[in-house]
Amino acid sequence: MRIMPLLLAGVAFAFNNLHGEDFELKGDIRARNQTLLNRYNGAPDMTTFQMRMRLAPFIKINDNVTLSGRACYEGSTTPNIDSRLKDNQELSFDRVNILLKNNSGSLTLGETDNPFALNIPQIDKDIPILGAFGQLPINKSLKMDFLFDAGRLITQDTKTKSTGLQINLQEQYEKFSFSGNVGFQHFYDFDNNFRYSNSKHAQFDILSSGFSLSTGNGKRFPVKIFGEFLYNFSMPEQNKAFMAGINVGDSSKPRGLFASFNYRWIERDSLVAGLSARDSPLSNMDNFIFSAEYRLNKNLLAYAINGNPKHIVKTGLKDTQRLKYIETGLRINF
């Protein structure tokens, strides 16, 4: 598990020394340790160590056309049901797309990341959309733009088609800045072979909205408060999710420190569980999350995350205890 990231890193640094103006290679290495304590039904505590290496070449055809793709290696050591250590390794090639852009906007064709920037992830950030994603400026003076996507999402547990749109607004004032968004995502044509019960429904129609207020931008400890709300029109109940939090600091520069605290309430049928989180379903969850980051230098970031998730249960059912999730990691960017 340790050899492959080193080999890929060597290839990355070699290409970085050779590329010209029309070729660029970006990537990162992440090592993290995840621990889950106080599990349900007396299950033993579980710890997983994971290492991930990603390389993404960008080939500039001209000022309006760019080709890109990505190679990703992931390795993990996880205790299986017999409490023995089990190694899993995977090498994949994805995110192959073509970007077309000019002063009127941009269009991405192929496989791309989730374009809608939400803290409550309707689609996990590691799950790509295969199809088209576009961005059009509506009002440049107000920094308002329109995003749309259409394509297919495929994971181990879920296959579905999706179309969506989102309007973003950013405004800068003398002492603070404001951003907001309103979006709609339509999931349909589900595969019937699902791991999670809420994914068996014929379609999900999710309206989302969010906002943030920031102050102290450019200073060492800027402050941002934010909130989001989601509503699934396709379900009669258990169909809402909301989140609120505060961020302090900035880890984009060396010796920069960043901390975040948020609370999220995500009802069972507010999200498609098989899409909302890659490692485990995020739906049906009441969760406090605290995270911190510290940038040691330009390319090296250390971080820690502490979460306390608890399942949302209906009145009359036996309550469940609150889990404890701890993640620590290092990330190298190049």
325 in a structural domain: no
- Looking at residue 249, the DSSP 8-state letter turns out to be E
- Which of 50-64, 66-80, 183-197, 306-320 ranks highest by mean pLDDT? 50-64
If asked whether residues 282 and 237 sit together in one domain, one would say yes
If asked whether residues 44 and 5 sit together in one domain, one would say yes
Q: Which among 83, 99, 115 is the end of a domain? A: 99
| Side chain identity, residue 227 | G
**Could you give the CA distance from residue 100 to residue 159 in angstroms, rounded to a whole number?**
27
Question: What is the number of alpha carbons within 13 Å of residue 281 lying toward its C-beta?
Answer: 23
Stretch 255-278: mean pLDDT, rounded? 82
If asked whether residues 12 and 147 sit together in one domain, one would say no
Question: What is the number of alpha carbons within 13 Å of residue 217 lying toward its C-beta?
Answer: 13
Q: Is 199 helix (H, G, I), strand (E, B) or coil?
A: helix
Count of domains observed in the chain? 2
pLDDT digits (tens, 9 = 90+) for 233-243: 888 888 898 99
pLDDT band at 293 (very low <50, low <70, confident <90, very high): very high
Q: Which among 99, 118, 150 is the end of a domain? A: 99
Q: 267 and 240 in contact (C-beta within 8 Å)?
A: yes
% pLDDT > 70, the chain:
73
Q: What is the pLDDT of residue 207?
A: 92
Q: Does the pLDDT of residue 145 top 90, yes or no?
A: no
If asked whether residues 133 and 252 sit together in one domain, one would say yes
Q: Does the pLDDT of residue 189 top 50, yes or no?
A: yes
Mean pLDDT computed over every residue of the chain: 79
Q: Does the pLDDT of residue 68 top 80, yes or no?
A: yes
Stretch 152-176: mean pLDDT, rounded? 81
**Could you give the CA distance from residue 185 to residue 270 in angstroms, rounded to a whole number?**
12
**Could you give the CA distance from residue 132 to residue 148 in angstroms, rounded to a whole number?**
8
If asked whether residues 172 and 29 sit together in one domain, one would say no
Q: Which among 99, 125, 144 is the end of a domain? A: 99
If asked whether residues 288 and 173 sit together in one domain, one would say yes
Q: How many CB atoms lie within 10 A of CB 26?
A: 15
Q: Does the pLDDT of residue 160 top 70, yes or no?
A: yes
Give me 226's structure tokens. 């934010």
If asked whether residues 177 and 69 sit together in one domain, one would say no
If asked whether residues 50 and 188 sit together in one domain, one would say no
Which stretch of DSSP H or E encloses residue 144?
strand 144-154
pLDDT band at 143 (very low <50, low <70, confident <90, very high): confident
Q: Is 17 or 110 the better-scoring residue by pLDDT? A: 110
Q: 254 and 283 in contact (C-beta within 8 Å)?
A: no
**Could you give the CA distance from residue 91 to residue 70 in angstroms, rounded to a whole number?**
11
CATH number, residue 207: 2.40.160.10
Q: What is the pLDDT of residue 140?
A: 67
If asked whether residues 215 and 145 sit together in one domain, one would say yes
If asked whether residues 171 and 269 sit together in one domain, one would say yes
Q: Is 217 or 257 the better-scoring residue by pLDDT? A: 257
Stretch 128-152: mean pLDDT, rounded? 81
Range of 142's domain?
103-295
Q: What is the pLDDT of residue 14?
A: 52
**Could you give the CA distance from residue 211 to residue 179 in angstroms, rounded to a whole number?**
6
